[in-house]
Chain A
């Protein structure tokens, strides 16, 4: 009788695999191989599901423990961490301190003490430790492959598809993900509308029209973490940059450049063109998807709007290094606040315009983010025009899909599926 009862119970309990929704994520462009490092290729979308980080960010940008059991800030920008003892790599081996040390040292951090807890600090001091720490994935190399401790593991990897499954299937959660690479955005959109894919991310607002009225899909929005900006050449005096920032980061420019798309900013400044100081015409260097922003900026400059050059990213980088520009369009990281250091900290490798502001650096060192932002307003390196919302379209059966806060789809392992 007991055996019969068990058989019935077992028969009535579907396996988590059987019930789970397979996420088929449409992307366009090359996938490349998934690795724990910042490498080009869309496979990196899966990075946070496979490789855990020691810390993650909460909604307001504070560090919170992830693979670390405890996080403590120390003087001098150092951070003390205690490793979680239950974490294992996907091959079942326990996570060991040497693996962690190797991972963080490859990410520009230095381990200065390791005695139960371990202490890390930025190797060159230019980038705050926590800014580096939130980008650091923990991994171990094994037979030429990278093993992570995240909830998912790669099961198949081709040029066009990356398959991942959850290491321990969970009822009501997503247990399998397939990242499908299509040659063009049109293909990715078409296959999503057709139902071949059920998640598509990083959309422009204008393309959302296509997904309206499709019952099997729904739109998910969140605040972006990068800001479309117009960076200044540091030859332009500070006072003039302040005026330019006010003129360019205006509702007028936002309206021209983005139409009805939402920007997190609004009403920062709206200096009429006539109030701009007279001077030489300003050349606008443009690359990437910022053509309308560049055009809007040139119009906002009025008589001072000069030549607009649209170049490739490589050419733009070269001209930035040579200082051969006045204004240049860009999309620097704006969130979390510590990420401001990548582009604006004196001496940072990503500080391409050579911006240097001691007040800003001091605020970073003190982790006083509001003071850092005020310092950027007082001595602006750029006009921060528009932090656009991030958009994705997901299967309507997913209940609590959210984006970010750091990596676009980092919360996917927590998404719940309607039963």
Chain B
């Protein structure tokens, strides 16, 4: 009981003090997590924009270089040889060559249509969409040669783009992806997705990329092709029609926030544990002090009760002594009866105290059949009932009802209730011992038709030394002892009473196992 109270007190301390703090911390951590995600997405966005700017600059430089070469050598008589030599210094330009009306079709840039080629020959710069030539991204570009009717064309080898995209690392697992206008992956930092660059197969991000170019915003958190949640930053290159995605698995991106979350949660749990430990220690100390105080109070109440009752007995014994001192033989029978009554009273007094000291030990419990037990109680109370001219009746349950218990203690409890009922009954009336099964419990109800108990008394009826009779041996220990015995058997004792109509005390005990057959031979009264 003491431990239970200590635990309850501790839980109360935790609930009132630390749990609100914990909830507050959790809320704060959620905010932290959301902010962390937003911050990661902003960082990815910035990286994507930087990458897009770099790629745009690179392609612009390549085209600028081709323009410079075209202008410088395109008009020379040995222009083709010079252009061929130029590819040594600018390998990314592939094989620059002259294109004129005489150029065979098979030598024309394959990704430019005839009108684009004609446009180029008229002195305009034209460029194809990016495509994958052999293994790397490429783009056909024609620039003016400086000589009417012919252009300088080249297939830009954009492998450098693949390198640039591949060099973008975010954390350990973050990578960049580049898509063309149609959503085709043209460069991938993720090794697992690089096959799609060569095969042209769409990836999970392809529709988002093509949508972005058309103005549809792309999500900043999405499910990648390998099934992982990723945070993403997006940027687009309007001129090229490309879009760049920089992705990082959410698990990695939010690792910092999660670590903080774990750290703070651990701190909160630790604080809670420390609080519980301290609370528990304080609760135990307080309970010890309370218990000590309660013991003194109980000892005082016992002393008061004992003093009162023994004082009463002492007064009677003094009166008997005075009668005996008169040496009158006529008083001898009265002296003898009085002494016998007082000895019996003091014996019961001692027996009541003895009951209080006997502990119920579940290991020693035996099966008891409650109908037979009630009969036994009735017989035990018969003498007292006869003196009071009160009948004791037993109302049996329809079938056997087994419990387990300490037979002596249960008899003391049942006799106590029965004797109280007899005392409360008017002469000529009856006390009924009713056995029944109720709500899965075996119940022994003791009913009387006495004056009943005042409602204000019922609440404290089972508390020690609460009896108001205080005549004879009524120390006020009877009903508390009944409750102690009931609780020790895993049961309860309760009372229903209406003033003027009588009272019913019910002793409820756990039913013992299967009731279909007798577990053991029924115990009988000795």
B-binding residues in A (CB < 8 A) = 184-187, 189-195, 206-207, 209-215, 217, 256, 259, 292, 295-296, 298-299, 308
Interface stretch, picked from B99-107, B188-196, B281-289, B488-496, is B188-196
Asked if A210 and B84 sit within 8 Å, CB to CB, the answer is: no
Contacting A at CB under 8 A, from B337-386, are none
In the complex, the answer to whether A189 meets B135 with C-beta atoms within 8 Å is: yes
- Give the Cβ gap from A251 to chain B, nearest Cβ, in Å: 15
B88 touches A295 (CB 8 A): yes
Shortest CB–CB separation between residue A303 and chain B, in angstroms? 13
Q: Report which of B84, B88, B91, B134 forms a contact with A186, defined as CB distance below 8 A.
A: B134
Residues on the B chain within 8 Å of A295, using CB: 84-85, 87-88
Bound form: Cα–Cα A296–B191 in Å: 34
Task: Point out the residues of chain A lying under 8 angstroms from B135, CB to CB.
Answer: 185-186, 189, 207, 210
Beyond the given A210-B194, A213-B190, A295-B88, could you list 6 further A-B residue pairs with CB under 8 A, ordered by the A residue number? Answer: A187-B198, A189-B198, A192-B195, A212-B166, A213-B189, A215-B191
Which residues on the A side are within 8 Å of B132 (C-beta)?
186
Query: A213 to chain B: which residues have CB within 8 Å?
Result: 166, 189-191
Asked if residues A209 and B198 are in contact (CB atoms below 8 Å), the reply is no
Q: Which of A190, A192, A211 has the most CB of B within 10 A?
A: A190
- The binding surface of chain A is classed by DSSP as helix
Chain B residue with the shortest CB-CB distance to A210:
B194
Partner of A212, one of B191, B195, B197, B199: B191
Query: In the complex, which residue of chain B has the Cβ closest to the Cβ of A213?
Result: B191
Q: Known contacts A194-B195, A210-B135; is A259 also within 8 Å of B91 by CB?
A: yes
Interface bracket on B:
20 to 34
Report A141 CB to chain B, min CB distance, Å.
41
Contact B88 A194 (CB under 8 A): no
Chain B proximity of A202: nearest CB distance (Å): 14
A191 and B195 form a contact (CB under 8 A): yes
Task: Report the minimal beta-carbon distance from A216 to chain B, rounded to whole angstroms.
Answer: 8
CB distance from A328 to the nearest CB of B (A): 18
Q: Which of B36-59 contact A (CB under 8 A)?
A: none
Cβ A308 vs Cβ B88 within 8 A: no
Could you say which residues of chain A place their CB within 8 Å of the CB of B192? 214
0/1 interface trace, chain B 171-201, chain A, CB 8 Å (1 if under): 0000000000000000001111011011100
Q: From residue A204, how far is it (CB to closest CB) to chain B in Å? A: 9
A210 to B136, CA, bound (A): 10
| Contact partners of B162 in chain A: CB under 8 A | 209-210
Flag if B84 contacts A193 (CB, 8 Å). Answer: no
Min CB gap B174→A, angstroms: 12
In chain B, positions 60-106 with a C-beta closer than 8 Å to chain A are 84-85, 87-88, 91
Q: A209, B166: Cβ atoms under 8 Å?
A: yes
Chain B residues contacting A194 (CB-CB under 8 Å) are: 195, 199
Give the residues in chain A near B199, CB-CB below 8 Å: 187, 190, 194
- Contact status of A308 and B198, CB under 8 A, knowing A189-B135, A209-B163: no
Contacting A193 at CB < 8 Å: which of B88, B159, B189, B195?
B195
Q: Which residues of B contact A192 (CB under 8 A)?
A: 195
| B198 contacts across to A, CB distance below 8 A | 186-187, 189-190, 193, 210
Question: How far is A308 from B83 in the complex, measured between Cα atoms in Å?
Answer: 13
Q: Within the assembled complex, what's the spacing in Å between the Cα atoms of A214 and B194?
A: 9
Shortest CB distance A373–B (Å): 30
The residue in chain B whose Cβ has the minimal distance to the Cβ of A292 is B88
**Which residues from chain B contact A292 at a C-beta distance below 8 Å?**
87-88, 91
Task: Give the chain A neighbours of B84 by CB distance below 8 A.
Answer: 295, 308
Q: Which residues of B lie under 8 Å from residue A214 when comparing CB positions?
A: 191-192, 194
CA distance A212 to B189 in the complex (A): 9
B194 engages A256 (CB within 8 Å): no
**Inter-subunit contact A299/B85 (CB<8 Å):** yes
| Complex contact B159–A209 (CB within 8 A) | yes
Inter-chain CA distance A184–B87, complex, in Å, is: 25
Chain B neighbourhood of A215, CB < 8 A: 191
Give bound CA distance, A141 to B466, whole Å: 117
